[in-house]
Structure 1
Amino acid sequence: MITCTVRYELDPAKLDAFETYARFWIYKIPAMGGTHHGYHMPFEGPNDIAYCHFSFPSLAAYEAYRAKMWDDEECQRAYAFAEDAQCIRRYDRSFTRPVLDGATPQELGL
């Protein structure tokens, strides 16, 4: 499994528009073969930073999603919405491999 984390710098006056955009992707990622772990909106601290996390079974599955996304009408409408709203100033992505299963000290040989 590979997880994509997106760090967004937002216009703080347009958080409602960004949340609309975010809710679309929470719906769309599972429809395209991934698992969405949600968006994390500003609350305490910086008022212009948000994060999103979603996973695909492999890097190849993520790359297939990215290729399909550019031809998907709903995805293109979402991108156009965010561009028109100008709610996203910039973003960057990073990829990690999640460790999701815990184990007892005995199971780990500790």
Structure 2
Amino acid sequence: MITIHLKYEIDVDKLADFEEYGRRWVRLVNRFGGTHHGYFLPSEGDSDIAYALFSFPGFAAYERYRTDSQTDPECQAAFDLARETRCIKRYERRFLRPLDTPGSDTSGSGTPGL
């Protein structure tokens, strides 16, 4: 399993646009075979930082999603929303893997460590 961590710097005056962008991608990632763990919006502290986490069974599945999303009309509409509203100033992408510990579920079907 591979988990993608996105850190966004957002325009706080366009939070509603970013929320719509996030709602679209949660549905789209799930449609493409991933598991979206959600968008996490500013509450306390930095008001212009948001996060998203989603997983795919492996890097090959993630690469298929990236390739297929480039030609999917709904994905293009989500990209266009961010571009047109400029709700995202910049973002960083990281790839994570779960820690494999005795007794933990690293298959992605449960919540390890809780």
* TM above 0.5: yes
Give structure 2 stretches of 5+ with no counterpart.
105-114
Alpha-carbon distance in structure 1 between the residues aligned to 2:102 and 2:16: 36
State the shift of 1:100 in Å.
8.0
- Larger Rg over CA atoms: 1
Higher helix share: 1
What is the TM-score when the length of structure 2 is the normalising length? Answer: 0.86
Letter in 2 for 1:16: A
Aligned pairs for 1:1-110 within 5 A: 1-99=1-99, 103=103
Secondary structure of 2:68's counterpart equals helix
> How much does 1:98 deviate?
1.9
What TM-score, normalized to structure 1?
0.90
**Alpha-carbon distance between aligned partners in 2 of 1:102 and 1:7, rounded to the nearest angstrom:** 30
CA deviations 1:48-100 (Å, max 9, x no partner) are 00000000000011001000000100000011011111100000100000248
* Structure 1 residue 103, shift from structure 2 partner: 3.7
Percent of aligned pairs with the same residue? 49
Count of residues in correspondence between the two structures: 104
CA distance in 1, matches of 2:60, 2:98: 16
What is the rounded CA distance, in whole Å, between the counterparts of 1:101 and 1:74 in structure 2?
38
**One-letter identity of the residue aligned with 1:31:** R
RMSD across aligned positions (CA):
1.6
